[in-house]
């Protein structure tokens, strides 16, 4: 019998073409939750990203489910304990978007320290007074990286040749030697790096321990005029405290690829009335969760998922 696969969110065609050779692949992108719950009852595999909640209600409807395939890294939208309880395999792609996210992070850092958003706004208003927009050299800055998993280490490797000072914080400390080889100093807690750094970049998952981790206490210990980068998860940063830090000048500017709650990424402007205080702040560069949105990363993740699904059903 052919394996039945339901694609609930769009992924790259490369992996789907591989799966279609041996499986029955059906598409349900764009359906409401109620509509999805009505169609998932007899599928062996579901493929999704971060928008669909796989919770008890979902799994009670998906009676035939054997695999949940998540194209990406974070699993905060999936009840992993319940998957394990039910014997359902979880597939993720922890290295698939590492390069794209790391490169995007470097781009955000450069945009902030050279004040690109401000400059772009100025010139669009016919203001070319370049003396108003002196930036900073990356080589003269100290960068604090919170989370030294695949993405955090990829960021460190790309920053090291610029000559900036690197500080890293990771709960496991298992990559201390590798980080030191890049010229970085590992610390056990975020507090130990705050007074030294000019840029704080976040690369940790959303958990009970990391939720609101970057808050008033953190901002109060940072240098005045520091920069914040978040390409991880929106709830890691306390919204109210960030706005206050921006308004009082502790944070010169912030680049956020994620916010909490997240906007409706698949809806056209006329289809929603979403608003968020962080999006419209004049010193925030906001991008709609696109750090991993390169053709290269999406193709890589799609193929990784396809190979793991094939391997599971060939055993």
Digit-coded pLDDT (tens) for 48-94: 999 999 999 999 999 999 999 999 998 999 999 999 999 999 999 99
242 to 43, 169, 213, 217: CA distances (angstroms): 43, 20, 12, 11
289 in active site: yes
247 and 216 in a common domain: yes
Establish if 267 belongs to a structural domain: yes
What pLDDT score was predicted for residue 1? Answer: 59
Catalytic residue among 70, 203, 289, 300: 289
201 and 147 in a common domain: yes
CB atoms within 10 A of CB 13: 12
206 and 89 in a common domain: no
Question: pLDDT digit string (tens) for 231-272?
Answer: 999 999 999 999 999 999 999 999 999 999 999 998 899 999
206 and 117 in a common domain: yes
0.85 exceeded by pTM: yes
123 and 244 in a common domain: yes
Catalytic residue among 176, 262, 307, 308: 262
178 and 131 in a common domain: yes
Catalytic residue among 12, 70, 175, 233: 233
Establish if 291 belongs to a structural domain: no
Contact 221, 194 (CB under 8 A): yes
Walking along the chain (315 residues) 10 residues at a time, the average pLDDT comes out as 93 98 96 96 97 97 98 94 98 97 99 98 97 98 98 98 98 92 96 98 96 98 98 98 98 98 92 95 97 98 98 91
302 and 279 in a common domain: no
133 and 266 in a common domain: yes
Residue 221, CB-side half-sphere exposure with 13 Å CA sphere: 13
Cβ contacts of residue 311 below 8 Å, gap of 6+?
A: none
103 and 89 in a common domain: no
Cβ contacts of residue 180 below 8 Å, gap of 6+?
A: 186
Establish if 174 belongs to a structural domain: yes
130 in active site: no
CATH number at residue 219: 3.40.50.720
131 in active site: no
Number of domains in the chain: 2
CB atoms within 10 A of CB 86: 14
> Distance between CA 118 and CA 62 in Å, rounded?
49
> Distance between CA 149 and CA 98 in Å, rounded?
10
Question: Which residue segment(s) compose the domain that 115 sits in?
Answer: 98-286
167 and 229 in a common domain: yes
CA angle 121, 106, 183 (to 5 degrees): 140
251 and 145 in a common domain: yes
267 and 125 in a common domain: yes
């Amino acid at each position: 019998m052919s394996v039945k696969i339901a694609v609930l969110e769009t992924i790259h065609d490369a992996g789907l073409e591989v799966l279609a050779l041996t499986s029955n692949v059906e598409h349900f992108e764009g359906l409401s939750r109620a509509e999805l719950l009505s169609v998932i009852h007899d599928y062996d595999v579901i493929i999704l990203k971060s928008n669909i909640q796989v919770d008890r209600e979902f799994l009670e409807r998906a009676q035939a489910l054997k695999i949940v395939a998540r194209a990406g890294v974070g699993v905060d939208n999936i009840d992993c304990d319940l998957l394990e309880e039910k014997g359902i395999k979880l597939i993720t792609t922890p290295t698939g978007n590492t390069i794209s996210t790391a490169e995007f992070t470097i781009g955000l850092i450069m945009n902030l320290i050279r004040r690109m958003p401000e400059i772009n706004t100025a010139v669009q208003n016919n203001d070319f007074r370049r003396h108003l927009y002196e930036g900073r050299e990356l080589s003269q800055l100290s960068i604090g990286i919170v989370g030294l998993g695949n993405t955090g280490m990829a960021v460190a490797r790309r920053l090291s040749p610029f000559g900036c000072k690197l500080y890293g914080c990771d709960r496991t400390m298992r990559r201390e030697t590798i980080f030191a080889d890049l010229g970085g100093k590992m610390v056990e807690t975020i507090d130990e790096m705050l007074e030294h750094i000019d840029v704080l970049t976040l690369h940790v998952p959303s958990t009970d321990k990391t939720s609101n981790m970057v808050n008033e206490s953190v901002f109060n210990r940072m240098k005045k005029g520091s920069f914040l980068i978040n390409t991880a998860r929106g709830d890691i940063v306390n919204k109210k405290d960030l706005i206050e830090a921006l308004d009082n000048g502790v944070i010169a500017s912030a680049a956020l690829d994620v916010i909490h709650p997240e906007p409706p990424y698949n809806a056209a402007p006329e289809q929603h009335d979403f608003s968020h205080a962080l999006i419209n702040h004049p010193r925030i560069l906001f991008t709609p969760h696109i750090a991993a949105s390169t053709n290269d990363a999406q193709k890589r993740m799609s193929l990784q998922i396809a190979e793991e699904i094939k391997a599971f059903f060939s055993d």
